Amino acid sequence: MDQLFALRSGVFRLPDGQPARFKAHELGELHIRSGIAAVCDPLLLQTPGMINVPAGDHRVVATIAHVPESYDYSLSRPAYLSLVISDEPTVSVAPAQFLQTGLDAGTRAIAGVSGLPDLRGIPSSDMSSVAITDAEAIAPGMPADPATWFESVISPSDASGWFDRMDTEIDGPLGSLITPLPMASNGENIAMLIASSRPGFSSAGNEGCTGRDHWNPYRPSGHRPNQRSPQGL
C-alpha cells in the first residue's frame, strides 16, 4: 500500500529512498457499457486482456512521476493509468483478475514481482503504450480491416493519429490520450498512456469490491526502460 502511488499527488519516497513528485491528471470518462474492459498495447487491440468491471462510465486518471535528476532517463514520465470504478478508500491491493477468454494471447504471467505471485501483465509492442477500452466496442469502433489500423488510425503519415497526439499535451499530459474510437456510433472511446512493461493490479475499497484497476507503465526505481524489467507496484 505504501508503494502505491497511483491517483496520488504530492512528493513521496521511491523504493531507493529518493523523493519524487507525483501528479494525478483526470483524463475524462471511459465508456465501458459492456462491463468488460479490454487492456492492451494499442497495436495489439485484436488480442487484449479482459477484466470484468461494472458497466457504465468510469473516470480515467494518468499519474505522472517527476523523478530526481540522478536518474538517467526522462525526468517526467508516466507512472500509472487507472480506471476508477469506485471512490471508496483503498484498503488492499491485489493482482488484476483477467478473464480466461483471451488470457493466453492477451496477458503474460510475471509471478513473484513485488510479492504478488499471481500478477499478470500485457504483451508489449515496439510502440510501448497501454490502452483501456470497452472490449465489445473494438470491432465496431475500428475500421473493418485490422491490417489498416496502424496506417489509418494509430500512426498515419499526416501526424493525426493516436501516437502523434500522445506526443503533445493537447489531449492531456504528455504521453496520454483519451479519444473516441474512429467508427464510434455512441461515444465509444479509448484511453492510453505511453508505457514500457505493464503489470496490472487492482485496489479494493473498504467493502471488499474492486475500486480501481491500475496499469503501472514504469516502476519509479532505478530500472532503465531498455531493460524491460516487468516491475509491478
More confident residue, 16 or 111: 16
Mean pLDDT (the chain) is 78
Q: Total structural domains in the chain?
A: 1
Residue-number span of the structural domain to which 64 is assigned: 10-218
Answer yes or no: are the C-beta atoms of 39 and 113 closer than 8 Å. no
Q: Is residue 4 part of a domain?
A: no
pLDDT score recorded for residue 116: 64
Q: Is 67 part of a structural domain of the chain?
A: yes
**Spatial CA neighbour of 28 closest among 165, 175, 176, 159:** 176
Residue 231 lies in a domain: no
226 is a domain residue: no
Residues 146-201: tens digit of each pLDDT: 999 999 999 999 999 999 999 888 888 888 999 999 999 999 999 999 875 444 54
Tell me, yes or no, whether 223 lies in a domain: no
Asked whether residue 2 is assigned to any structural domain, the reply reads no
pLDDT of residue 112 exceeding 90, the answer is no
Q: Per-residue pLDDT tens for 41-83?
A: 899 999 999 999 999 999 999 988 887 776 655 567 788 888 9
pLDDT digits (tens, 9 = 90+) for 115-131: 666 777 788 777 778 89
Domain-embedded: residue 41 = yes
Q: Cβ distance 211 to 7 under 8 Å?
A: no
Residue 113, domain member (yes or no): yes
